[in-house]
Structure 1
Amino acid sequence: MENRYFMYVLKCGDNSLYGGYTTDLKHRLEQHQSGRGAKYTKNHLPVEMIYHEEFDNKHDALSAEYHFKHQSRKKKIDYLKSHGVDVHREHLL
């Protein structure tokens, strides 16, 4: 079975944005929603996955996560908008 690598973005209950990396989107979202995903999201529930992007290798997915996390909120929103995501709307991914 071929590995899949994802960078994903969660919209948290306080409307903050969280970027992460995983090989299993469904399982990782379940972890975050149950409070076992990350310290940050545990304190900002509920969470909703509003974006994900697949990469060919782990390095590229982790690099995308790193670059997303180290941007201002405005740049994060601009990035998401450029990928067709309106962070001010309700999403079902």
Structure 2
Amino acid sequence: MIGLAGIGTALILGAGMRIVAAAGGLLLVLMWAAELPLASNPLIDEHIVYAIVLVGLALAGAGDTLGIGRWWSTRLLVRRYPILK
């Protein structure tokens, strides 16, 4: 639950979108796999749709537009390790 709260906070702030999208997508896919066998359509399950949305947010640079992503990317640690962007 602490991990989910951290992912949600980072998404709201817009910082670390690459790592948050990867971690959130992984958690959503694992939650999807925990439900197997599925009672509904496996391709349009809400977990898969949300994982795709997370990837889209990271690729679109949503944190730079509506969050602190632009400020976050100027930090020394983020410039040294660009995966944290």
Band the TM-score falls in, shorter-chain normalisation:
under 0.3
Q: Which has the larger radius of gyration?
A: 2
Highest RCO, 1 vs 2 (Cα 8 Å, sep ≥ 6): 2
Higher share in strand:
1
Tell me the TM-score normalised to structure 2 length. 0.27
TM-score (norm 1): 0.26
